[in-house]
Amino acid sequence: MKLLKYFTVLLFSISLFNCQSQKEETSTMDQNGEFKYQTEQFADLAILRYKVPDFEELTLKEKELLYYLSQAALSGRDIFYDQNYKHNLKIRRTLEAIVNSYSGDRSDEDFQKFMVYTKRVWFSNGIHHHYSTDKILPEFSSEYFTHLISNSDKNLLPLDKEETVETLITKLTPIIFDPDADAKRINLNPDDDLIVTSANNYYEGVTQKEAEEFYNRMIIKSDPTPIWYGLNSKLVKENGVIKEKVWKVGGMYSAAIEKIVYWLEKAVTVAENDLQKKTLEKLIEYYKTGDLRKFDEYNILWVQDTLSGIDAVNGFIEVYGDPLGRKGAYESVVSMKDLDATKRIDAIGKQAQWFEDNSPIHPEYKKKNVVGISAKVITVLTEAGDASPSTPIGINLPNTNWIRQQHGSKSVSLGNIIESYDKAASEGVIQEFAFDEEEIRLAKEYGPLAGKLNTDLHEVIGHASGQIKPGVAAPKQTLKNYASASEETRADLVALYYIMDQKMIDIGVMPTLDAAKAEYNAYLRNGLMLQLRRIQPGNNIEQAHMRNRQAISKWVYEKGKADKIIEKKVNDGKTFFVINDHPKLRSLFGVLLREIQRITSEGDYEAAKNFIETYGVKADQDLLKEVHKRHEKLNIAPYKGFINPKLIPVYENNMIVDVKIEYPDDFTTQMLEYAKEYSFLPNYN
């Protein structure tokens, strides 16, 4: 499973599609000498970069392993284009030939539109939108397309046997410009034949009924460890016979898979330990044989390997691209343990008992022996296929249920990707919604760290803390529909209460209490205002996290009103909530925590209902409209994708003696480079 940053999608209207390309200056650093997270924005997309903070600290062997796994990842890149639509590789190569060699005017509006289209195709790994899966229609004419091809280097065009420039144009024009031809990559309308009406390339010449029957015949109902039939093949009908074309060495996509295997074999030579070595060898065996039992065996080894610092997802993994949920899209995510996060989480987790003992909750509801919950964060090095440029922010694998039940699964959040999202998104938002320069300064200096500490405290300490009164049932039974909002309230309050504790400085995870101030400011900005942008006018708040954030924020605002702990100010018609006294606010968080813990421990349904309904549900409609207006003005792209860092090996006497990391800052350059380095498949497979 992948966890997407989906909520951003809901907020923005389709009108952004018509935006002109807004390429900003693309220097690696911005004017303040800081790492530039967002490099450009076009259509409904923004391109970001992400940092790999601990790379220099790795040993040569570890760097080498990351390099080989990254090469393996990128080697399969073409596969995903072809899986998405059978004409994708040919179209992409035509677009790239034009970008590389078009001899006409590149400064006019038409060419800009052509570049936006090309970048959208790269972003979506094909001509269908990565999220809606609708066909992307160019904003330039088919005549202009003909003109571009005719004025480009013929030798660079992907001409198949006996094909001329003219026949290439004739062939591609309807595919690209006709809105009705292969209009949707994945059709999920149950009234249609899902296979025939989906443009993806997982089935050819077969109907939905034929495909379903084909696989139903294979399934053995009594098998306690069932194989995921169809995961690594295309189903076709040839001469009236339905059969699978398996993706393996010697099968379909062989040229790319051979390269993946080549680099995985290199990775084996520098594996961190025996188990990791065995795991990689099993993956190679699977790619060589196409045997899905081997893939199960690989996954079992993979979930067992929790000690390695470096890890990779590599294979045909997620099945969202197939309306029948059988076919795995190629993807790879190469990562290492987030050392900083691990240190931070360990330091906080070790203090779980101290936090419990010093908590403002009633002694009766404290745990005598509390153990922090471990949270896992990874740092991404390279992403490819289904995971790139658009990426998940969390991954939970393997997908096979019986393996999850019998052997476990790995669940991670992608730390440096999340950080990049936050940094890129926050700048304009903070400028707009923070009250003064001091609030902006605190947010810039401590915002990201404070956000992470808050999450750590919430996950590691918050959810682990407190106990139910003996004889009282679990909150799910007692608090019913308010259970999850109450639980999130409780965990948030533990985090908010402790982030402003000297203990955080003493255990070395926070440099100053100013970081806690930054977090309080951010929490209330979001809880009282900013999150309203996710609610459509006229609606109230449904989602548990949003309810609990508003409930906490509104409660402390109301209770602190008399003392002006938090003050509402209106400037130029804009509303702000300003915290005048952070330590007093902390005390209020403590008071509320004590009450919410009591509600939870005693299963006080009426009190939970009263709290959430009074403070968490109702959206202030005037404020909501204001927030929408102010936020829309910022023109933030709903979808984001990432440029990968580049790993560059340094050779001496044919031996790798070092691996350097660079952070390219131009999406087009990286896409052209990848096309040159990793184009292993023919136009049609």
**88 CB burial (10 A radius; 0-12, 13-18, 19+):** buried
Ranked by CB distance to Zn ion, the top (closest) residue is 491
Give the residue with the Cβ less far from Zn ion, 434 or 491.
491
Amino acid at 409: S
Structure tokens at 595: 């009450």
Name the minimum Å distance from CB 201 to Zn ion. 40
Give the residue with the Cβ less far from Zn ion, 426 or 548.
548
Amino acid at 510: M
Name the minimum Å distance from CB 545 to Zn ion. 8
Name the minimum Å distance from CB 221 to Zn ion. 38
Structure tokens at 201: 């390339």
Give the residue with the Cβ less far from Zn ion, 158 or 349.
349
List the 38-42 sheet strands across, edge first.
38-42, 45-49, 639-643
Please say whether the beta carbons of 126 and 63 come within 8 A: no
Give the residue with the Cβ less far from Zn ion, 88 or 486.
486
Name the minimum Å distance from CB 488 to Zn ion. 5
Name the minimum Å distance from CB 456 to Zn ion. 12
* Sign of the torsion angle spanned by Cα atoms 391, 397, 400, 405: negative
Give the residue with the Cβ less far from Zn ion, 387 or 551.
551
Name the minimum Å distance from CB 458 to Zn ion. 6
Give the residue with the Cβ less far from Zn ion, 127 or 599.
599
Give the residue with the Cβ less far from Zn ion, 454 or 679.
454
List 242's β-bridge partners, or say none: 237
Helices in 507-543 by DSSP H: which ranges?
514-528
Name the minimum Å distance from CB 464 to Zn ion. 11
| φ/ψ of residue 414, rounded to 5 | -90, 90
Give the residue with the Cβ less far from Zn ion, 89 or 479.
479
Name the minimum Å distance from CB 210 to Zn ion. 45
H-run or E-run covering 395: strand 394-397
Give the residue with the Cβ less far from Zn ion, 330 or 589.
589
Q: How far apart are CA 433 and CA 446, in angstroms?
A: 17
Name the minimum Å distance from CB 627 to Zn ion. 24
Name the minimum Å distance from CB 459 to Zn ion. 6
Give the residue with the Cβ less far from Zn ion, 425 or 491.
491
Q: How far apart are CA 57 and CA 35, in angstroms?
A: 19
Q: How far apart are CA 270 and CA 57, in angstroms?
A: 17
| φ/ψ of residue 610, rounded to 5 | -60, -45
Name the minimum Å distance from CB 493 to Zn ion. 11
Alpha carbons within 13 A on the beta-carbon side of 424: 27
Characterize 131-166 residue by residue with b for buried, 16 or more Cβ atoms within 10 angstroms of its Cβ, and e for exposed.
ebbebbebbbeeeebbebbeebeeeebbbeeeeeee
Please say whether the beta carbons of 182 and 134 come within 8 A: no
Q: What is the DSSP letter of 21?
A: P
Name the minimum Å distance from CB 490 to Zn ion. 9
Q: For residue 395, how far is the Cα from the chain centroid?
A: 8
Name the minimum Å distance from CB 542 to Zn ion. 17
List 397's β-bridge partners, or say none: 410
Name the residue among 552, 376, 549, 353 with its Cα closest to residue 465. Answer: 353
Name the minimum Å distance from CB 84 to Zn ion. 35
List the 394-397 sheet strands across, edge first.
2-3, 394-397, 410-414, 377-385, 330-337, 310-316
Name the minimum Å distance from CB 495 to Zn ion. 9
Helix (H, G, I), strand (E, B) or coil at 179: coil
Give the residue with the Cβ less far from Zn ion, 197 or 467.
467
Give the residue with the Cβ less far from Zn ion, 84 or 454.
454
Give the residue with the Cβ less far from Zn ion, 460 or 491.
491
**CB atoms closer than 10 angstroms to residue 325:** 12
Give the residue with the Cβ less far from Zn ion, 400 or 486.
486
Binding site for Zn ion (CB under 5 A): 491
Give the residue with the Cβ less far from Zn ion, 246 or 491.
491
Give the residue with the Cβ less far from Zn ion, 292 or 494.
494
Alpha carbons within 13 A on the beta-carbon side of 501: 23
Give the residue with the Cβ less far from Zn ion, 458 or 554.
458
Strands 203-204 and 233-238: parallel
Structure tokens at 485: 């909002």
Q: How far apart are CA 100 and CA 548, in angstroms?
A: 52
Name the minimum Å distance from CB 422 to Zn ion. 18
Structure tokens at 74: 């990128």
* Sign of the torsion angle spanned by Cα atoms 541, 544, 550, 551: positive
Distant-in-sequence, close-in-space partners of 136: CB < 8 Å, separation ≥ 6: 117, 120, 121, 124, 127, 128, 129
Name the minimum Å distance from CB 546 to Zn ion. 13
Alpha carbons within 13 A on the beta-carbon side of 371: 2
Q: How far apart are CA 182 and CA 175, in angstroms?
A: 8
In 544-633, beta strands by DSSP E:
566-571, 574-579
